Amino acid sequence: MASPSRRLQTKPVITCLKSVLLTYTFVFWVSGIVLLAVGIWGRVSLAVYFSLLDEKATNVPFVLVGAGTVVVLLGTFGCFATCRGSTWMLKLYAMLLSLIFLIVLVAAVVGFVFRHEIKTNFESNLNLALKDYNVTADRHSEAVDTIQRTLHCCGVQNYSDWERTEYFSQRGIPRSCCKNQNDCSEEDLKDPNKAKLKVFVDGCFFLVTSTMESKMSVVAGISFGIACFQAPVSYTQG
């Protein structure tokens, strides 16, 4: 009489296990596509905000794109390994899955721990961008204009921040702060009392950080979900 372990090695059981493994691997491959798309979306959607951060922070979307690419390639390898039924391939696949899970998890923890430092860094760079603001093709000045027009804000904490800049002494508050471009003359922008009625009075710092947190929460949520999915997949592969 065949032993229990021998009975489990029948063709139907092996076929069933392969089907389950292929399903997990396919979903994992799709999660790589999602991670890749989220990285690209984050880069495009948050580009103007990242331009006012240090270089390390601007690498976040590229990390997601890179991770997504690796997951897609690894998922393809996993499908091949499962179809071949190669033991060493499956073990290698499980080890790589575990490694990626740990990397994603550590990245999420680091991002959470240093979120306040990122805010401080952004506020400092936004203040510096206002100080050095000009009407040339400077990317920081363009970022300030884009943020003020898009979020309907002006300055860092409020519109009066512009009064302490060199640009204000020459041309007043930038036109990107105007509520109505057709009713916002340079004379108005040079007079703080008149400008208060013509420009957005709320500062950009709070609005930017709120916008970034809401969008990055989407990125973090998807990334964390994929990381959590990788854990059972790694366990199954092992």
Task: Report the alpha-carbon angle 229-232-236, nearest 5.
Answer: 135
The pLDDT tens digits of the residues spanning 13-47 come to: 566 766 777 777 777 777 777 777 777 776 777 77
The pLDDT tens digits of the residues spanning 179-236 come to: 988 888 888 889 888 888 899 999 999 888 877 666 666 666 665 665 565 555 444 4
Q: With bands split at pLDDT 50, 70 and 90, how would you rate the model's confidence at 157?
A: very high
Q: Are 174 and 155 in contact (CB under 8 A)?
A: no
d(CA 61, CA 46): 9
Region 90-99: mean pLDDT is: 76
CB pairs under 8 A, 24+ apart, for 10-19? 14/85, 18/82, 18/83, 18/85
- Domain 113-237 classification at class level: mainly alpha
Is the alpha carbon torsion for 127, 133, 138, 143 positive or negative?
A: positive
Region 48-75: mean pLDDT is: 73
pTM value is 0.62
The pLDDT tens digits of the residues spanning 101-136 come to: 776 666 666 666 666 667 777 888 889 889 888 866
Q: Are 51 and 143 in contact (CB under 8 A)?
A: yes
